[in-house]
Amino acid sequence: TLSQPCLHISSIDASVALAMSGVITFISAKDVPGQNRRLWFNNPEELFAEEEVICVGQIIGAIVAETREQAKRAAEQVAITYQDIQPAFFTIEVFEAIEHQSFFDPKRKLERGNVEEGFKKADHILEDELYMGGQEHFYMETQGLIAIPKAEAGEMELYVASQHAAYTQEVVGITLGIDSNKITCHVKRLGGGFGGKVMKIASLSAIAATATYKTGRAVRCVLERGDDMLITSGRSPFLGKYKVGYMNDGTILAADITYYSNGGCTLDESSFIMEKALLHMDNGYKIPNLRGHGLVCKTNLPSYTAFRGFGGPQGLTIIEGVLHEVATRCGLPAHQVRDINMYKDEKCYTHHKQLFSPRDMVQCWNECLEKSDYTHRCLSIEQFNAHNHWKKRGISIVPLKFGIGFSKGFYNQVAALVNIYKDGSVLISHGGTEMGQGINTKAIQIASRILKVPMSSIHIKETCTGNVPNAAPSAASFGTDAVGMAVKNGCEKLMRSLEPLIKKHPQYTWQQLVVEAYCQKISLSATGFFMGPHTSLDWEKSEGNAYYYFTFGACCSEVEIDCLTGDHENIRTDIVMDVGRSINPALDVGQVEGGFVQGIGLYTIEELQ
C-alpha cells in the first residue's frame, strides 16, 4: 500500500523480494487473468493500482510467501518508483472537497411543501452547520479468508468472513475470468461485521484468489489491525448545513438542509448511504416544508463504506441538532420542542410520501418519559448543577423512526434450504450470515416451531453459495425478517408434504414419520423463499415507499461532565424499543444495548485521524 496519493506508478521491481527465503511470488495488476476491478452498481474500484495511485492506503501488489513474517519482510523490499502528478487539489476532508466542488454523481434531493413560503411565515430564521466525524468498525476479527484451488475446471473454494458471500463469489469470478458456478464461498460465522464486511472483503478475496490462480496453492489472507483500518475505511464523516424557520413556541415550519459526506476515492456504497441519510432527515418530526440535498465528496482516502445504521445516524444526528438549537433559542425544554414537532396523526406521510402510523413511536416516547422519570430528574439535575461548580449534568430524550429493509427493492429477497435426514435431524442452509446477531438461533427457533421438533435436532452448518445462490447481503436490519420467512416457507412446504402421513399415523414419532415418508418416496428437502415488497423511490418526484416498514423507539440519557478535564460519564440510560413480537428477546436486547454502546463511541470518544 502507499501512504501518499496522486502519484503515477513508473515501475515495480520485486526482484529483491522474490530472492528472499520463503517467498513464492509477487502479484500485481498484470497477474489478474480477468478484470482488475470490482463493480458495484456500475461503480468501479481497482483491485490493484495499475497506473495511478488515487488514495492513501491503496493496494499496489501482494507478496505470497510461506509465512506471514516472510511475506511482511519481503513486502518492504518491493521497490516502486513514482512520478509526481500535480493534481488540481489534494483533499481528505469534506470542507476541502466542497471548496473544489469535488463531488460524485448522482446528487440527490428530497423535498416536500414550499420551503421558501415556510421561511416567510416563520418568526425566526436559524442558519448553522453541524459536522459529524467518521468511525472505524473495529470488529473483533479483521478481514480474512482462505482460497483453495480445486483439481477440475478451474474450480475454487473460499472460506471467507463476508456479509455478502454472493457478491464475493461474483467478484472473484470476474477477476479470474471464470463463471460463478465454479466459485464456492463458505461463511461459517464472522467475528463482527457492522457493515464493514460487505464490500471490501470481496476485493481481498479476489486478490487472494489471483494468488491461488497463479501459484496453484491454497492462500490465506488475514489483515493485521493497522492494515485493516487503513485499507477498509469505515463510517462516512458528514457535514450538514441548514437553514430553519421556526415559531416562538418551537414549531418548525421549514428546514433546508444540505448534506455533504466524505465518500473517499471511489463511490463504493456512499451514494446509498447518502440516500439513507436523506430518507431519515425527518426522523420522527412532521416538518411541513422540508428540503434536503445530498452530495458525496470525492477525496483522496480509501472509499468509505457501510456501517451500522448506514447513513441513518448521520441524518438523524443533524435533525436532532436542529431541534436542540431551536429549543435553546426559544428558551424552551428540548423535549417539549421535540414533542410539539412530532408526527402525531394516526395516518402520516413521510417527506418522501410513504404512509405510516406513528402510534408506536408516540407510545415509545411516552413510555420512555414515564419509565425514565424524566420530569422529576430534570429538577434533580437543576439542583445538582446549582450546587456543583466544576461538574455538571444534563439529560435528553429523543424519539426514533428507522426504515427497515433495502430501498433497492430487488434486494428484499432470500432463500433457504431445509433438509430432513432419516434419523429425524434437520439441516438448514440460508442466505444470511451469522455475525453475532443471532440469526442462526432465530432460524432454528422458527424451524422448531413449524416442524414441531426440538431445537437440538436442528443444525445450521454454514452459509454457502453452493447451497443458496444469489443471496442479498446480511444488512439493512432485514436479516431475521427475510431469512426467518424463507425458513418458515421451506418448513411449511415439508409439513404440507408430511400432513397425509401425520393424519394416517398420529401415533408415530417424528423419526418414524420421517422414515415412513422416505419409504413412500416423499421428498424430505424443500427450498423456502421470501420475496419482500418491492420498495423504490422516484428521486425526481421525491416520492415512493423506500422501506418495508419502520421501527420505532425512544431513548433517554443522563450524563455528567467534568468542566476542568472534559471527562464524562453516562449516568443512566433508558431505552424503549418497538421490535414487534420478538422471536428472541434476549438477543434483541443485546442488539439494542450493543448498538447504543457503539453509538456512545461514535458521538463521544472516537476520532479518526
Query: Would the pLDDT of 431 be above 90?
Result: yes
Q: Is the pLDDT of residue 104 over 80?
A: yes
Boundary of a domain, candidates 208, 232, 256: 232
The count of domains in the chain is 4
Whether 88 shows a pLDDT value over 60: the answer reads no
Domain assignment of residue 96, yes or no: yes
pLDDT (0 to 100) of residue 85: 72
* Measured CA angle at 386 (ends 384, 391), to 5 deg: 60
Closest CA to 556 of 374, 357, 341: 374
**Residue that terminates a domain, selected from 314, 341, 368:** 341
Cross-strand partners of 158: 147, 185
What pLDDT was estimated at residue 152? Answer: 86
Query: Looking at the domain assignment, is residue 591 inside a domain?
Result: no
Interval 589-598 mean pLDDT: 97
Does residue 288 sit in the same domain as residue 424?
no
The closest of 131, 127, 557, 124 to 331, measured between CA atoms, is: 124
* Confidence (pLDDT) at 89: 61
User: Average of pLDDT values for 465-491?
Assistant: 97
Q: CA-to-CA distance for 411 and 278, rounded, in angstroms?
A: 20
Mean pLDDT within 63-69:
98
Residue 349 domain flag: yes
The verdict on 40 and 160 lying in the same domain is yes
- For residue 514, being part of any structural domain is answered with yes
- For residue range 530-574, what is the model confidence (pLDDT) as tens digits? 999 889 999 999 999 999 999 999 999 999 999 999 999 999 999
Tell whether the model's pLDDT for residue 103 goes beyond 60. yes
Mean pLDDT value across residues 215-243: 97
User: For position 450, which CATH number holds?
Assistant: 3.30.365.10
Smallest Cα–Cα separation from 169: which of 490, 436, 431? 431
Q: Are residues 295 and 393 in the same domain?
A: no
Percentages (nearest 5) of helix, strand, coil residues in the chain:
35, 30, 40
* CA diameter of the chain: 82
* Whether residues 78 and 94 fall in one domain: no
Q: Which domain holds residue 544?
A: 344-407+533-578
Q: Are residues 227 and 243 in the same domain?
A: no
What pLDDT is stored for residue 153 in this prediction?
85
In a domain, 524, yes or no: yes
Establish if 597 belongs to a structural domain. no
- 282 and 212 both lie in a single domain: no
Task: Please give the share of the chain, as a percent, with pLDDT higher than 70.
Answer: 99
Question: Which among 43, 133, 130, 87 has a CA at the least distance from the CA of 299?
Answer: 87
Angle, nearest 10°, between helix axes 312-330 and 270-279?
40
Cα 175 to the center of its chain, rounded Å: 25
Assessment of whether the complete model's pTM goes beyond 0.75: yes
Do residues 67 and 22 touch, judged by C-beta distance below 8 A?
yes
- Say whether pLDDT at 382 is over 90: yes
User: Are residue 71 and residue 149 in the same domain, yes or no?
Assistant: yes
Q: What is the DSSP string of 34-81?
A: S-SEEEETTEEEESS--SEE-STT----EEEESSHHHHHHHHTT-EEE
- Say whether both 109 and 15 belong to one domain: no
Task: Count other Cβ atoms within 10 Å, centred on residue 395.
Answer: 18
Rounded average pLDDT over 428-438 = 97
d(Cα 159, Cα 461) in Å, to the nearest integer?
A: 13
Question: Where does the pLDDT of residue 92 fall: very low under 50, low under 70, confident under 90, or very high at 90 and above?
Answer: confident
Tell whether 77 and 184 lie within a shared domain.
Answer: yes
Is residue 3 pLDDT above 70, yes or no? no
Average pLDDT over residues 300-328: 97
pLDDT value for 87: 66
Q: Residue 349 corresponds to which cell in the numbers above? A: 406521510
- Of 189, 215, 232, at which residue does a domain stop? 232
Whether residue 73 is contained in a domain is answered as yes
Q: How confident is the model at residue 67 (pLDDT cuts 50, 70, 90)?
A: very high
Q: Which pLDDT belongs to residue 517? A: 98
| Residue with the larger pLDDT of the pair 3 and 347 | 347
Q: What pLDDT does 112 receive?
A: 98
pLDDT at site 5: 72
**Residues 377, 440 within the same domain:** no
Across the chain, mean pLDDT equals 96
**Same domain flag for 323 and 238:** yes
Same domain, 323 and 466: no
Strand segments (E) across 431-523: 458-460, 463-464
* 130 within domain boundaries: yes
Q: Which residues contact 445 (CB under 8 A, 6 or more apart)?
A: 455, 583, 584
